[in-house]
Structure 1
């Protein structure tokens, strides 16, 4: 694998990114004649927020948004960057960037896509008054602090300048080596001018530039389904091979799986945990099992009494050592996951499985109890605060593994522990985002772009939108920053590994296992593949009956 600076080849209109090493996925051919106009069906859950790219940072809305809104670049199956709306992305110093977009592109409402479309969208996403969930993705841009601070009156970042209809410049506060690589994440997608007239209404019926568009006004039937149709005017690297996608919004993952078995659902993006032992027999030649850039963790808010300060850190270390990941991934998850030894993912360049402090992820019952007792000497555990792990019941089949983890904690530490079920992912994320959790929460990460930094910056830096534990460590953030400023691959990886090691000591989130895409599909479709980040490549799916 090779890391190339964006500027080294950007003048050719191509951007080089990290190549991911992963097992290949299946294609699932039914052998029939494909119908390019046929609608495929896929599963999802009710999105947490309106379908606005800068306000979507969870999978329920993300899987829809990423099929409607494409931006400067796209990522292929293995995470390699391909230009989409970008003509070129240039920088000689990794701090000052010149971005040129392709001419004559249009949003699905007919508005032209211009340089101003990007600048306006990014400024909107960053401004505090708009309270967008992905605002921190704009934090590297000069002037972000002035627009993002509470009570800020400024709403335009000084680092963004429109040069002409197809050119804009970006000045970062300091050099960041992977900035150009991030620009395929949906937060960086452009928005039409009409979006800013009523962003709430826009989120119900969004308009973008991508392989799909909303089927009609009211295509989002809340808690039921979201209907997308092919955008015939899109001519980027993700041009659809089907007529559209109907996302069915399930309340129960088992229902989705039964629909798949009955051919009433075409693509299931993740087999429920309860069926991981049988799905390959249930779906012969219609399944794949592929590692991707994702991790499952448990975040423990440091605003909870039992989990603050030095005692809280020792207790988190104790919990981590009290979990037998090998047993759970083998018995509960049927070897479809790999026990985690850090907080990134093995498919990323720079990953290392024997970092300093990685021993905190190894099962050791005696050491776990010793750490717990040390914490007791500093601050006795308040037993009125029962230890719970919050999880959503509408997708993924998380109950089974949550129960296994809490049983191990009870047996190995002698504490009261149990799962806390939330009916929907939206409810879980709403309470988590608001900082109102009363216990731990199922967290984890699905990469936005292929970089180790993406597994740390948006999750563990102070004020980050996905910082569920409210972790705050200036030394950690300084080390991350050094990695971004690194001038070569090895230096960047070394700094990111150091930052990862700090997380393994403090454990604001306890790493459980690295994710794998366990996708299934019906007898009615073919050419089903999973992308570098585990999401099915819906645009590539063909319907045959």
Structure 2
């Protein structure tokens, strides 16, 4: 969730090189020979929402396990740089037809080889509508993908396995940043055992990554051991990982201070003012590819039509983002000025229409009054929903205080006891008000903050918004061959978002994490997650 050299290395800054060579760097300054010794590293986590199947994992608790159990064609270093992992090369003459060569020597934990077919069948399964995979929309660019019928990418010719080491991918249009996406979970390979029993596999996944699954005690912990057959650059430098499922961040932080936990992913707001002193150099507070928004459900009648648009604008103008980020987060958040992240190359705060994010109490009150004239709500209470097992009520209360004072309406926190219960309600479209939409980038590119969240039918379009002009602008931006052209088109897409406000941007998150004096070599990456394979711990 990273200042460092991120902007120079990631996203569109890489696409020019990838369009020519289509092969990411093999050199990783953090890579080291496997030691796999010392102690087991305990890490703050939560209960995954879904089985541990790569194409079903689109939330942070499951992602931390999946990213360490599997290896993709490429992976991302701490700064967001892209490096080959299972891929020997990724090449294209036109950014539309990509030839991927699989490196020799890769196997799954069951001893079966990782081949071109391992990727093709996994992607084909993930894209098929009948399989109802959360990340199916990531395969939309591949020839044969359909939202209307259960088409096979393999049968449609979008994926062609030429031999065990060669996969040819055909896209519907040129997309110069396609290789950057291939380190994300949606594009991980699967062994044959998955297709024999997907349900059983989700409980006990067999991957090809730096770790193998030892056990998964639901609502308690996930235990991972070093994979002795892993041949990539992310070789474990510890004896294993224990991902501990906490139901609140204060408990995790207190365990860290007591020496009962090695790494905490997120510092609770109660410790924002003190954690850097309390942890004495064992913490991070650095920009990350993470944004918080309030999603506006399109099913709520009070936010539909002309009156609904006025209300969206009124709520946005009523929020004093600068005051909330300083008072509640002690400067560990930055008020948002767009829908992406400042650590992603191509980011700019000069988006037409983003003045709707400015705090303006008088304008907010006037806009709400205009909406009441068009479609009166009368005595109304706005609810803001999120999970109660993480540290969200504090900022929701602060935002509600703004809204109650400025708009003279009711506002309250609508809590779901756990993160997975909140996600289930969100995914089923039963949330009764605005709801928290936290987005941690899947891969380091502007496109990842836009299409997956706001594209029609996209898997993380939780507010169910749809806009043909926005979809068309995304497609145009994806097909741009020059990075500067793509940036301009993504800016135009963001302008459409500001016209419609399917979500109300709040702030960009810093990675705020910490570790005990029991571990060394701890770093947090561009996406805010700790890089666990390199952590060392004495026995």
Calculate the TM-score normalised by the size of structure 1: 0.93
In the other structure, the counterpart of 1:66 is 67
> Deviation of residue 91 (structure 1)?
1.1
> Deviation of residue 77 (structure 1)?
0.8
Label 1:74 to 1:369 Cα distance change in 2 as closer, same or farther (>3 A): same
Paired residues, what number? Answer: 519
Aligned pairs for 1:481-492 (under 5 A) are 481-492=475-486
> Deviation of residue 527 (structure 1)?
1.1
Name the CA distance, whole Å, in 2 between partners of 1:64 and 1:331. Answer: 34
> Deviation of residue 149 (structure 1)?
2.6
CA contact (8 A) 1:144 1:157 kept: no
CA contact (8 A) 1:389 1:419 kept: yes
> Deviation of residue 5 (structure 1)?
3.8
Name the CA distance, whole Å, in 2 between partners of 1:101 and 1:85. Answer: 6
In the other structure, the counterpart of 1:474 is 468
In the other structure, the counterpart of 1:22 is none
Q: After superposing the two structures, state which structure 1 stretch, 370-379 or 342-351, moved more.
A: 370-379
Name the CA distance, whole Å, in 2 between partners of 1:153 and 1:160. Answer: 12
Name the CA distance, whole Å, in 1 between partners of 2:81 and 2:293. Answer: 26
Name the CA distance, whole Å, in 1 between partners of 2:138 and 2:24. Answer: 23
> Deviation of residue 186 (structure 1)?
0.8
Name the CA distance, whole Å, in 1 between partners of 2:409 and 2:267. Answer: 31
Once the two structures are superposed, residues 111-140 of structure 1 have per-residue CA deviations (whole angstroms, 9 ceiling, x without a partner) of: 110000000000100111110011100111
Name the CA distance, whole Å, in 1 between partners of 2:127 and 2:116. Answer: 17
In the alignment, is residue 349 of structure 1 matched against residue 348 of structure 2? no
> Deviation of residue 60 (structure 1)?
1.2
In the other structure, the counterpart of 2:176 is 177
Aligned pairs for 1:203-214 (under 5 A) are 203-214=202-213
In the other structure, the counterpart of 1:431 is 425
Name the CA distance, whole Å, in 1 between partners of 2:324 and 2:341. Answer: 19
Aligned pairs for 1:235-384 (under 5 A) are 235-381=231-377, 383=379
In the other structure, the counterpart of 1:513 is 507
CA contact (8 A) 1:321 1:364 kept: yes
Secondary structure of residue in 1 paired with 2:533: helix
CA contact (8 A) 2:247 2:389 kept: yes
Label 1:201 to 1:5 Cα distance change in 2 as closer, same or farther (>3 A): same
Once the two structures are superposed, residues 330-373 of structure 1 have per-residue CA deviations (whole angstroms, 9 ceiling, x without a partner) of: 01100011000100000111111121111011100011111112
Name the CA distance, whole Å, in 2 between partners of 1:52 and 1:14. Answer: 26
Name the CA distance, whole Å, in 2 between partners of 1:208 and 1:334. Answer: 40
> Deviation of residue 312 (structure 1)?
1.5
Name the CA distance, whole Å, in 1 between partners of 2:472 and 2:202. Answer: 36
CA contact (8 A) 1:302 1:312 kept: no
Please point out which of 414, 421, 441 is paired with 1:447: 441
In the other structure, the counterpart of 1:84 is 85
Secondary structure of residue in 1 paired with 2:443: coil
> Deviation of residue 35 (structure 1)?
7.7
> Deviation of residue 104 (structure 1)?
2.2
In the alignment, is residue 392 of structure 1 matched against residue 391 of structure 2? no
Name the CA distance, whole Å, in 2 between partners of 1:362 and 1:443. Answer: 20
Please point out which of 410, 415, 433 is paired with 1:416: 410
> Deviation of residue 480 (structure 1)?
1.1
Q: After superposing the two structures, state which structure 1 stretch, 458-467 or 432-441, moved more.
A: 432-441
In the other structure, the counterpart of 1:111 is 112
Label 1:157 to 1:79 Cα distance change in 2 as closer, same or farther (>3 A): farther
Secondary structure of residue in 2 paired with 1:501: helix
CA contact (8 A) 2:293 2:438 kept: yes
Name the CA distance, whole Å, in 2 between partners of 1:137 and 1:214. Answer: 26
- Taking only aligned residues, the RMSD between alpha carbons, in angstroms, comes to 1.6
Name the CA distance, whole Å, in 2 between partners of 1:304 and 1:141. Answer: 34
CA contact (8 A) 1:69 1:209 kept: yes
> Deviation of residue 37 (structure 1)?
3.6
> Deviation of residue 381 (structure 1)?
2.5
> Deviation of residue 329 (structure 1)?
0.5
Secondary structure of residue in 2 paired with 1:169: strand
In the other structure, the counterpart of 1:225 is 221
In the alignment, is residue 54 of structure 1 matched against residue 91 of structure 2? no
Name the CA distance, whole Å, in 2 between partners of 1:296 and 1:122. Answer: 29
CA contact (8 A) 1:75 1:81 kept: yes
Name the CA distance, whole Å, in 1 between partners of 2:425 and 2:239. Answer: 37
Name the CA distance, whole Å, in 2 between partners of 1:112 and 1:296. Answer: 40
Once the two structures are superposed, residues 11-70 of structure 1 have per-residue CA deviations (whole angstroms, 9 ceiling, x without a partner) of: xx5359xxxxxxxxxxxxxxxxx9824210001111110000000001111111111111
Name the CA distance, whole Å, in 1 between partners of 2:370 and 2:446. Answer: 33
Once the two structures are superposed, residues 388-411 of structure 1 have per-residue CA deviations (whole angstroms, 9 ceiling, x without a partner) of: 11111223x111111111111111
Name the CA distance, whole Å, in 2 between partners of 1:149 and 1:64. Answer: 32
